[in-house]
């Protein structure tokens, strides 16, 4: 599993928590 996928999952979960800005911002 690439780190990108893990980061995306972590960001998605954090976004669901209430921080949508983090999930909205692409990494790279």
Tell the residue number behind the tokens 């692409």, with chain if given. Answer: 26
pLDDT at 12: 64
What's residue 10's pLDDT?
Answer: 74
Tokens of 17: 């928590």
E strand intervals along the chain: none
Distances 19 to 1, 22, 27 between C-alpha atoms, Å: 24, 6, 15
The pLDDT tens digits for 18-28 are: 555 555 566 65
Long-range contacts of 4-12 (CB under 8 A, 24+ apart): none
User: How many structural domains is the chain composed of?
Assistant: 1
Report pTM: 0.33
Domain that holds residue 19: 1-28
pLDDT for 21 equals: 56
Across 4-15, average pLDDT: 71
What is the rounded average pLDDT of the residues 2-26? 65
* 9: pLDDT strictly greater than 70: yes
């Amino acid at each position: 599993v690439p780190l990108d996928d893990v980061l995306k999952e972590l960001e998605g979960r954090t976004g669901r928590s209430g921080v949508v800005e983090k999930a909205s911002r692409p990494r790279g």
